[in-house]
Amino acid sequence: MQQKKNESKVFTLSLPRGKIYDANIESKQLQENIPLLVYLPASFSENEKYSLIIVQDGKDYFQLGKLTRYADELIDQGSLEKTIIVATHYKSVQDRRHKYHPSGEENLKFMEFIADELIPWIEQHYPTYSLREKRTLMGDSLAGTVSLRSALYYPELFKNIILHSPYVNEKILDEVESAPSVFNFNIYHVVGKEESVVKVSNNRDFLTPNRELHQLFIEKGYDIFYEEFNGGHSWKYWQPEVKRALQTMFS
């Protein structure tokens, strides 16, 4: 068909997509095989250095939070430094609680796994910076809790923390309050205004303790972004916050 004179062809360039790989570690700390997802940017080169994000609830962030799609977009725009994302994920709800909850049977071992096994494995396989300023921990709900505590337990390894509605109890507040002042943190922290009664967590109040946590962050002098969004404890509300977290933390 001949093109009409008043018509013009429209060419759209597809967004360069990074690649996602399956990997696994045989953990001595946990005595089990830990599956991983690894995101490498579209322009990945072994001759360059990359920042690192370690994500708990990883499949949820990749699928429901659109984390890698946002990373592709922001890296392409130059709004996000070139970053490798490594994601861990729970095998079951029970496994998640054992590893992520402050009172979980494997909680301390899981944090030791991150520091003593996962970081060395990443540095062995990928060209990431060995600087705490270039490392970020990310998580939602209990995954946010274990991310925060991992940074508190290993502050020499991590400076940046992204928290989407983390579970907070007195133990967490005490640990933040007693954290050594020699280490500063850069924290993105959001929680929903409708999280005073969270049905998926036995109607627990997430909002009030998160407000208390925010006040502690202020008192500690941490670099923080804090906001209460209109919504509840679900990915419907966290998803937009994933992109904004990347924009805010790495702009």
pLDDT in tens, the chain (251 residues): 444 444 444 444 688 999 999 999 999 999 999 999 999 999 999 999 999 999 999 999 999 999 999 999 999 999 999 999 999 999 999 999 999 999 999 999 999 999 999 999 999 999 999 999 999 999 999 999 999 999 999 999 999 999 999 999 999 999 999 999 899 999 999 999 999 988 878 778 999 999 999 999 999 999 999 999 999 999 999 999 999 999 999 87
Question: Do residues 89 and 59 lie in contact, with contact meaning Cβ atoms separated by under 8 Å?
Answer: yes
Q: Read off the pLDDT of residues 45-74 as tens digits, 9 standing for 90 and up.
A: 999 999 999 999 999 999 999 999 999 999
What is the predicted pLDDT for the residue at 13? 60
pLDDT at site 14: 82
- Report whether 251 contacts 188 (CB < 8 A): no
The domain ranges of the chain are 20-250
Q: Which residues of 3-24 are buried (b: 16+ CB within 10 A; e: fewer)?
A: eeeeeeeeeeeeeeebeeeeee
Class of domain 20-250: alpha beta
Q: Which residues face 119 on adjacent strands?
A: none
Q: What is the pLDDT of residue 215?
A: 98
* Distance separating alpha carbons of residues 188 and 245, to the nearest angstrom: 6
Determine the pLDDT at residue 9: 45
